[in-house]
Amino acid sequence: MTLRILDTTLRDGEQTPGVSLSVEQKLMIAEALDRLGVDVIEAGTAIASEGEFQAIKTISEAGLNAEICSFARIKFEDIDAAADANADSIFMVAPSSDIHISSKFPGKSREDIIEMSVRAIEYAKERGLVVEFGGEDASRADFSFIIELYRHAVDAGADRLTFTDTVGVFTPEKAFETMKSLKENFSVPVAFHGHDDFGLATSNTVFAVKGGADEIHVAMNGLGERAGNAALEEVVMALEFLYGIKTRINKEMLYPTSKLVEKLTRVKVPPNKPIVGDNAFTHESGIHTSALLRNTQTYEPISPEVIGRKRSIILGKHAGRASVEVIMKEMGYKATPEQMKEILARIKEIGDKGKRVTDADIRTIVETVLQIRREKKVQLLDLSIVSGVHVMPTASVKLKINGKEVVEAGVGLGPVDAAINAIKKAIKDYADIELVSYHVDAITGGTDALVDVIVQLKKGDKIVTARGARTDIIMASVEAFIEGLNMLID
């Protein structure tokens, strides 16, 4: 039996503080998760709001391969909402720890919870729903009560059972033993739902599978309440590559799906996050990079292409000759030993000042040392901005692109956004450029501070970084954007 994956990005993941998705955005993520190959998509909580109801209904009617699930309490109105939204199944939870029982149902006993759960499960089956039943906060509950609660749930018609580590207090050893015990007691499929409050969600989930779990609950990028849920990408890759346990996940879609979720939820993935973080396949150290270029397995446990991404070599104060030569080869340049020594020294000088070395910096250094004069394909001739309390920020720009003058205007949420939008419109006939990231730092203090703007631009598969430094943040941003364009436009 292949391990089943229930993805809760659209339910528990959307409960991440500050995350709120529209119906259209939820559908986009659901379609991506379906292409990824998850077995169950927990699309939200149908009873929560009209928007949630419509999102689940839209996803349920989208013709996806995955089972579409709605979260539900042991309440008939939750069940009706899920069924009316055409969900295939519900993940129904009942409080199982004494803390949760007394807080959520004051005056109710454990026996009352069992009775309410049985009635709710029987009603859900009458409404034609697949029922996955879980005891909320099970990891802090009396295990003998969990067994009793689950037995009544199965007798009432529950199709699957879930053990929930709601506040992330389990350890891998406990996860293993608990799943093993549940498998010995029940013939229906058993799942594990883990949170990352102590940073153990991935380990706990892996050990739950080792203990016999038939299904796991995970979220893309580890999104979820508080510290998040077990990260889908981490759990799947650990299971498949370290333990030889297969899933139906299309691993080449992991990185594209991660980036889509990052973009739509606006929750930035930490650069050092395993598998999908920006630094996961990025190398700078000269000694490491030199060995990596001879054999990628020296400093990479898996190939980046496996998860749909590419290796990146960046330069800084740890840069070595090998990595510089690779980047110069991509530029079409070759240096003598003395020139290479000078190029390395200049790159390291920027790094020693605590600055990030951008692609534009490298090109400038290389071309300066090699005494190569390269005509810029894009030049800024004029820029004007109109902005005010009652005025939509508007920018007009005049560029020279491959010798031809182009004038365009754009609006935005602010003057920087308006200026960038105007430039993007001006160059649309020459290249389809995407602004991947925008970062600004104030280098000095005061209202006349020197600001350092770094942008990442993308054209096709190529991504470059460029810098602009001015006391005027608008001009610094435009300068950085145009530097990046000059590296991307042929």
Give the residue-averaged pLDDT of 116-124.
98
Confidence of residue 390 (pLDDT cuts 50, 70, 90): confident
Coil, helix or strand for 44? strand
Report residue 415 as tokens: 């003057």
Residues found in the chain? 490
Q: Tell me the pLDDT tens digit for each residue of 222-272.
A: 999 999 999 999 999 999 999 999 999 999 999 999 999 999 999 999 988
Give this prediction's pTM.
0.77
The sheet with strand 378-388 has its strands ordered as 378-388, 391-401, 404-411
Helix%, strand%, coil% for the chain, nearest 5: 45, 20, 35
Listed range (174-183, 209-218, 275-284, 379-388) with the worst mean pLDDT:
275-284
CB 197 within 8 A of CB 204: no
pLDDT score recorded for residue 289: 46
Sequence-separated (6 or more) residues with CB below 8 Å from residue 488:
431, 433, 457, 459, 462, 464
Average pLDDT over residues 446-452: 69
Please tell me the predicted confidence (pLDDT) of residue 238. Answer: 96
The share of the chain scoring above pLDDT 90, in percent, equals 64
Higher per-residue pLDDT: 147 or 279: 147
pLDDT higher than threshold 80 for residue 331: no
Mean pLDDT of 166-191: 98
Nearest to 52 by CA among 26, 32, 34: 26
Mean pLDDT to the nearest integer, 423-430: 91
Q: pLDDT value at position 325?
A: 77
pLDDT of residue 443: 61
Given a cut of 70, whether residue 424 has pLDDT beyond it is yes
| 130-156: average pLDDT | 97
Question: Between these two residues, 13 and 453, which has the higher pLDDT value?
Answer: 13
Give the pair of three-digit tokens for residue 219: 């979220």
How much is the mean pLDDT over the chain? 89
Q: How far is CA 373 from CA 295, 401, 404, in A?
A: 35, 17, 20
pLDDT level of residue 454 (50, 70, 90 thresholds): confident
What is the secondary structure of 149-167 as a DSSP string? Answer: HHHHHHHHT-SEEEEEETT
- Cα 418 to Cα 405: distance, rounded to the nearest angstrom: 20
The pLDDT confidence band at residue 395, using thresholds 50, 70 and 90, is very high
Q: Where are the alpha helices (DSSP H) in 76-218?
A: 76-84, 98-104, 110-126, 143-156, 172-185, 201-210
**Which of 414, 411, 410 is CA-nearest to residue 427?**
410
Q: Is the pLDDT of residue 203 over 90?
A: yes
Q: Which of 374, 377, 405 is nearest to 490 (CA)?
A: 377
At 87, the pLDDT band (50, 70, 90 cuts) reads very high
For tokens 């930035």, name the residue. Answer: 268
pLDDT, one tens digit per residue, over 17-50 is 999 999 999 999 999 999 999 999 999 999 999 9
pLDDT at residue 405 tops 90: yes
- Domains (ranges, CATH) in the chain? 4-265 (3.20.20.70), 282-369 (1.10.238), 378-488 (3.30.160.270)
Q: Check residue 122 and give left, alpha or beta (phi > 0: left; psi -120 to 50: alpha).
A: alpha
- pLDDT confidence of residue 286: 43
CA distance 143 to 22: 39
Q: Which of 191-195, 237-241, 281-285, 302-306 has the lowest mean pLDDT?
A: 281-285
Amino acid in the structure at residue 16: T
- Supply the Cα-derived Rg of the chain in whole angstroms: 27
pLDDT bin (cut points 50, 70, 90) of residue 283 is low
Whether residue 59 is predicted with pLDDT greater than 90 in this model: the reply is yes
Q: Which amino acid is residue 64, in one-letter code?
A: L
> Would you state the pLDDT for residue 318?
64
Backbone angles phi, psi at 149, to 5 degrees: -60, -45
- pLDDT higher at 286 or 315: 315
Q: Which two tokens stand for residue 292?
A: 């990596």
